[in-house]
Amino acid sequence: MIKEKPIVTIRRGFDRPDPALVDALRGAMTGHVVDSMSGRGALDYRIKPIEVSRSAICGTALTVKAAPGDNMAVNAALDVAKPGDIIVCATDSFVETAVVGDLLLGMMKNVGAGAFVTDGLIRDLIGVRGVGLPVFAMGVTPNSPTGGGTGTVGLPIMIGGVHVSPGDVIVGDEDGVVVVPQAELSQVIETLKEVRALEAEAEAKVKAGQDRSPKFTALQEAGKVLEI
């Protein structure tokens, strides 16, 4: 006889990063964070903030895998979430129905979640604005999800082309969302300092009137540009 499978599988005891390391990335531009990881970590460009005014996020990933068209696992995540957690929900990029609406997002805010990120859709936009929780998604639809499918909470997921493990750090802004693996946090924070310094230097030169690309100028000086 085949044993009936559980509806939701939950892993509660995953390692979380030092809060000081998370705070070190707070306010960082996603582009700078990506540069600090050699161009890696950004989720699919279509995953964008629903409200631009609430797009600056940084926190520990609480991972959720939801069956397409279903949100039972997201409901289960409420029982695991800790203050500041960013609930990251993979739906296999399912866009026929929403995965959450204003009520579930309101409960996330009530448990202290810092944001919600999904490769699916949301609904109830008017109510979502009232909730005030930062939300990143593929878009909005009026179609409702169901609530009886299988899923996981606190296990590794794939979302927006990026592997995310529980305890990784999520950084988001108007440009999108970036995942920083927990094991790389210290290195990324150190590299970020260098990236910011170089960006500040480059910006200062442009503001001072620089009107030619240094990269192209270097090609010219190296004799690698053919003029015809």
Domain coordinates in residue numbering, the chain: 8-200
8-200: CATH class: alpha beta
Residue 150: name the closest of 68, 217, 61 by CA. 68
The yes-or-no verdict on residue 222 having pLDDT over 90 is yes
Residue 148: pLDDT band (50, 70, 90) is confident
CB 169 within 8 A of CB 25: yes
Model confidence, pTM:
0.93
What is the per-residue pLDDT for 2? 61
Q: How far apart are alpha carbons 152 and 161 in whole angstroms?
A: 18
Residue 165: name the closest of 153, 157, 174 by CA. 157
For residues 55-76, average pLDDT? 96
Residue 146: pLDDT band (50, 70, 90) is confident
The yes-or-no verdict on residue 1 having pLDDT over 60 is no
Percent of the chain with pLDDT over 70: 98
pLDDT averaged over every residue in the chain: 95
Tokens of 135: 């939300």
